Structures are given as structure tokens and as C-alpha cells.
Amino acid sequence: DVVLLDLKMPGISGMEVLEILKRDNPAIQVIIITGYASIDLAVEAGRLGVFHFLCKPFAPEVLIATVEKAAKA
């Protein structure tokens, strides 16, 4: 399974969702998508087990290739 997860959401942060997803299913591949990237967020996401961190804007081909790699991981 692959999850596309935005960091900025109403009611709960993407980092909180990432923690829950990885706790409940450590093998799940999570791709974070954000327009609010920072080194600290990328490091924290990596610590929590994110597969990849995509910064907006990105080309559709980049997203497709990343999802395909995550699905094979």
C-alpha cells in the first residue's frame, strides 16, 4: 500500500497521521507532499519512516515515478 499525505490538513497534521500510519502498519509506504518544506520536517519525516518527501510544485511524472517505486518497495 502507498499513501500520499499532505502535511497541512485541517484538524490534524500530516506528521501526526504519519506516526499513526507507521505505528499501525510499519510496512506501509508513505509519500509526503508539501508546499511548506523545511529541513527539520524532512528529517523528522525520515525518522518516522517516510518513503519520500515531495515538495510542491512537482511534475506529474515525478509523482508517478515515486508512487511506482514506493509500490515496489
pLDDT at 62: 96
pLDDT at 17: 94
pLDDT at 18: 93
pLDDT at 36: 83
Provide the 3-class DSSP secondary structure of residue 5. strand
Mean pLDDT by 10 residues, the chain (73 residues): 91 92 94 87 88 92 96 93
**How many whole angstroms separate alpha carbon 55 and alpha carbon 62?**
11
Residue 33: which H helix or E strand, with range?
A: strand 29-34
